[in-house]
Amino acid sequence: MKHRLKFTIKKLFRMALLLLGVSLTAFLLMDASPLDPLQTNIGQAALGTMSPEQIARLENYWGVDAPAAERYLGWLGGVLRGDFGVSLLYRRPVLEVIGQRLAGSLWLLVCAWILSGALGLALGLAAGARRGRWPDRLIRGYCLTVSSTPVFWLALLLLIVFAVWLKVLPIGLSVPIGGGQVTLPERLRHALLPGLTLSITGVANIALHTREKVIDVLDSDCILFARARGEGHILRRHVLRNVALPAITLQFASIGELIGGSVLVEQVFSYPGLGQAAVAAGLGGDMPLLLGITVITAAIVFGGNLAADLLYGVIDPRIRRGAARK
Amino acid sequence: MRTNRRAGTLFLLIFACILLFVIALAGEALSKPAELADFARKNLPPCLAHPFGTDWMGRDMLARTVAGLSLSIRVGALTAVLSGGIALLLGTASAVCGPRVDALVSWIIDLVLGIPHILLIILVSLACGRGFWGVIAGVALTHWPSLARLVRGEVLQLKQATFLRAARRLGVSRGRVLRTHLLPHLLPQLFTGLILQFPHAILHEAGVTFLGFGLSPERPAIGVILEESMGYLAAGRWWLALFPGLSLVLVVMLFAVAGERLRLLLTPASAQE
């Protein structure tokens, strides 16, 4: 148990270091940007009509001067106290904006994550077990097509079919325009298409990799021996157990890809989530918000990796003891 | 007559390369007609004269699609080669230059993989002030990690090979070993990796231009075309989105299939299947 704790602490330390690296990288990249936030947000014409004092005040607001190192250290100090700064576009604390947006995105992401994981595993098992026959060909064809398809184009197609032609689902937004009391079914209706898009694309990668692994396992000697003994339920007893670890890796590694996809999908459906905020922040030169979103998503991704590492030990006693011996 | 898989794969690859070349050239040739606006023929659904239809300014969508594909292909090829170069360099370095460099490179890989690709591309393209080179740098700097890991593993394995150790003992210099023994063994892996990298690069390029970072509206990349089409979908003009996207999917699929088959052939375990 003590060794498990040590292992976890070591991983946590590495994660903190990586997060520091992520924030520094993102900060340096944004700092290197030649785009002037004043020009992008206020516009040349409006700037021309302003007095020098007004411009100076705006420059101060968008943080144009002040050395980079000082600003980074200031930001870092704020973060350690739980203050990510103020979003320049939304004029509210970054954490508040992220929290609100994440609440919109989160259950979209979680639904797509679970659905694509379960479906991907099932399809991968089915394809691997019937290698070379029609279910395998069908599933492989599907995966290939989907993984060659841009997520946002798929979203556009679904939008055309379901919202424009059939008119059964709304075109976008997480709530109907006009506000008022939003009911749960209404919310579901608006999240259905984005969720569906993300699930459809998420399945492909997981299914393909699971299939490879299943084929590897089926070719191994232990399966040959089990067959020779005339054992039944090979898929459940042997294959599933051997595939469990890589499946977990895949499932948790897919988080990053899923968030990346949600950036594009939310843009298509104008779904007010984290991804859309990231795009708005990027286009508008809202550094604190973009930095905050980058760090938070990276933290989610690293957290996923950590969870996978810890789950290995829970599932596989060999790893538990192996970690203890070292 | 059944062709064997080797010949089939070779044929597929040659076909894919020729197609790329033709599209890239045709895109250059069509860049003028692609921008030609003619309001007498605006918003036409697909017909014989305009198989892909026309848009709200009367521009022929077929010409725009080909021009867009051409741009996307050039960006994809350039970024695949660039990220392949980075992968080769860092992968070899981490396998050859000792544990410190190894730890550093794997830390950088973890770092890059920790940020979702599209976010990192946005950040890099911002750093380059958006535009064409921003997209190139963004995609190139995000797509090397998996290939670098592959190269690293391969080099580590090769380092233990008898012929390599024998060469070292015989007093062959490091650089010469690298050039004459290591590189020829790495090239097939790297080549396959590059081809498999290409679809990813194109898809991410399309994604980031779709979001409005990178290429300007005057240069009709596929992402830009699709982004513009969004405003007209509710009016029922489905052809604006369907055909450009579909042609992109077909090109990407061609390369994904060719790369996958090449990988199977070059992997000894599956070469004889």
Question: What's the rounded mean pLDDT across residues B128-148?
Answer: 87
This complex has an ipTM of: 0.83
The closest of A297, A205, A310, A213 to A251, measured between CA atoms, is A205
pTM of the model: 0.84
* Long-range CB pairs of B181-188, under 8 A, 24+ apart, other chains included: B182/B92, B182/B155, B182/B158, B185/B154, B185/B158, B186/B88, B186/B92, B186/B151, B186/B154, B186/B155, B186/B158, B188/B266
d(CA A261, CA B210): 13
Q: Please write the tens of the pLDDT for every residue from B154-198.
A: 888 888 888 888 888 898 888 888 888 888 888 888 888 888 888
Residue with tokens 């995105």: A105
**Chain A neighbors of B242, CB-CB under 8 A:** 157, 160
Q: Please write the tens of the pLDDT for every residue from A49-73.
A: 677 777 777 666 666 666 777 778 8
State whether A156 and B229 contact (CB < 8 Å).
yes
State whether B211 and A18 contact (CB < 8 Å).
no
The closest of B97, B63, B44, B13 to B265, measured between CA atoms, is B13
What confidence tier does A297 reach under pLDDT thresholds 50, 70, 90?
Answer: very high
Q: Which of B107, B119, B260 comes nearest A294 by C-beta?
A: B119
pLDDT given at position A176: 47
- Best mutation target, A28, A148, A209, to test chain B (most B CBs within 10 A): A148
What confidence tier does A288 reach under pLDDT thresholds 50, 70, 90?
Answer: confident
Residue with tokens 């250059």: B28
State whether A34 and B249 contact (CB < 8 Å).
no
Q: Please write the tens of the pLDDT for every residue from B6-64.
A: 788 888 888 888 888 888 888 777 777 767 677 667 767 777 677 777 777 777 788 88
State whether A164 and B233 contact (CB < 8 Å).
yes
State whether A260 and B229 contact (CB < 8 Å).
no
Q: Which of B114, B126, B127 comes nearest A298 by C-beta?
A: B114
pLDDT given at position A180: 47
pLDDT given at position A120: 92
- Best mutation target, A156, A201, A290, to test chain B (most B CBs within 10 A): A156
d(CA A77, CA B192): 46
First and final CA of chain A: distance in angstroms? 13
Mean pLDDT, all residues of chain B: 83
A272: which 2 tokens?
A: 């007010």
Using the predicted structure, report yes or no on whether residue A274 has a pLDDT greater than 60.
yes
CA B250 to chain centre: 14
Return the bridge partners of A86, or none. A93
